[in-house]
Amino acid sequence: MKKVILLIACCVLASSCATTDRLTRAWPWGETSAGEERSPDRVNLWPLFYHDNEMTSVLWPLMDFDDRGFALRPLIAKDDHDWSLLYPLCGWSAEKKAGWVGPVWWDGSGNHGLFPLYDHYDGFTHIGPVWWDHDLGGHGLFPLYYHDKDFTYIGPVWWDNDYGSHGLFPLYFQSDSFTYIGPLWWNDEGGHGLFPLYAHDGEGGNRIVNFWWSGEDHGLFPLYGRFYASLGQVITHIGPIWWCHSWVGREFGIFPLLYYNGGKEGTFWLFPVYRHKWDKGYTRRSVLLGILADYKREGDSSHFSILQYLYRQERKDDHVTRDIFPFIKWDSGPEKGRFSFFWRLLSFERNGDRRGGHILFIPWGKRGE
């Protein structure tokens, strides 16, 4: 059925090009009729009259014509091999052998139908709710009955011939490995339960309502939990407060406000006020997600900012650049330095032994390169 609906939509869109595509070419902002550059002799009195290369439109969108065809809307339109009459009531493509007249549709592959009462597409056919599919070997009465070589249902009763499973939806289900009757269930691994009050998974895991245990792990969801994670970690939580003991270091937090992971490599954050992350040769601090203040150091380089652009400082080795929004710039280094206020309203430059700059845009001294 989905294939049939998609096919009908494609036929409509393909044939509708006879009128809709022409509309976008018959105005000054559209594509020219053959993709040429705009003509220097074009006439633009749109929407009364427009002419560019081969495209001409009069009283847009009522009439237009070019080397592809013509349109006299809403009566008739032709665009290459596509035609439409009283669009959207009728349209067809002479090249694709596809089209429609009202609810009747057809295409060049022999598919046809009377939407939505009858459709035939490849091996699939339906007449109202009755359908059959020769390729699938199935038939049915939608939605009451379905049958193919693998699966059958009649209302809520169903069975699967391949896997031997069957059931009465949603009261009963049985397969090779799992069975349930209402809230009671069991599987071939020794698991069983009464949903949602009790469960045993067959591998040592148990739950009675919100209390659970498995080996040394246990908890009362979501108020309390204690379990062994990987790498020898023991994680415990009481409500949103949690802590972790492991050989890699200490971790604790209050979800989702606080997190701390100490050691040579670590993270500390107090959401959303402050965040600090560090590693060998690297550190990052930010206040209010970096909006209020942000600092990052990596090797011999660093970056610091206040309110993003109000104050910015970049350090690379011994060279430092500073910007104070909107007028002040200050660069400093062992050999060169420069300070300016409002560009050259007031500036000072240092380059080795040379000194110079500007006062009220008037240069002074020796600035050099």
Which pair of structure tokens corresponds to residue 181?
């009757």
Q: Is 68 within the bounds of a domain?
A: yes
Helix (H, G, I), strand (E, B) or coil at 297: strand
Q: Which of 74-83, 172-181, 239-248, 304-313 has the lowest mean pLDDT?
A: 239-248
Stated as kind and residue range, the H or E segment containing 14 is helix 2-25
| DSSP code of residue 36 | P
Q: Mind listing the pLDDT tens digit for each residue in 47-83?
A: 899 888 888 999 999 999 998 999 999 999 999 999 9
Domain range for residue 99? 2-128
Q: Is 8 within the bounds of a domain?
A: yes
**Segment 232-238 mean pLDDT:** 91
pLDDT at 369: 54
Q: Which of 6-20, 219-233, 285-299, 352-366 has the lowest mean pLDDT?
A: 6-20
Q: Is 48 within the bounds of a domain?
A: yes
Q: Is 46 within the bounds of a domain?
A: yes
Q: Is 318 within the bounds of a domain?
A: no
Q: Is 110 within the bounds of a domain?
A: yes
Q: How far apart are CA 268 and CA 278, in angstroms?
A: 9
Q: Is 257 within the bounds of a domain?
A: no
- Count of domains observed in the chain: 1
**Segment 141-151 mean pLDDT:** 94
Q: How far apart are CA 247 and CA 265, in angstroms?
A: 14
Q: Of 112, 116, 22, whose CA–CA distance to 73 is shortest?
A: 22
State which amino acid sits at residue 174.
Q
Q: Of 251, 214, 221, whose CA–CA distance to 233 is shortest?
A: 251
Q: Of 354, 316, 315, whose CA–CA distance to 335 is shortest?
A: 354
Q: Is 284 within the bounds of a domain?
A: no
Q: What is the mean pLDDT of the chain?
A: 88
Q: How far apart are CA 262 and CA 38, in angstroms?
A: 67
State the pLDDT confidence band at 12, using cuts at 50, 70 and 90: very low
Say how far residue 124 (Cα) sits from the centre of its chain: 35
Which pair of structure tokens corresponds to residue 51?
């002419």
Q: Cα-flanking dihedrals φ and ψ of residue 21, to 5°?
A: -65, -35
**Segment 241-270 mean pLDDT:** 89
Q: Cα-flanking dihedrals φ and ψ of residue 192, to 5°?
A: -160, 165
State the pLDDT confidence band at 16, using cuts at 50, 70 and 90: very low
Q: Cα-flanking dihedrals φ and ψ of residue 18, to 5°?
A: -60, -25
Find all residues with CB under 8 Å of 201, minimum gap 6, and list them: 189, 191
DSSP, residue by residue, 109-166: TS-EEETTTEEEETTEEEETTEEEETTTTEEEETTTEEE-SSEEEETTEEEETTT--E
Which pair of structure tokens corresponds to residue 66?
């070019």
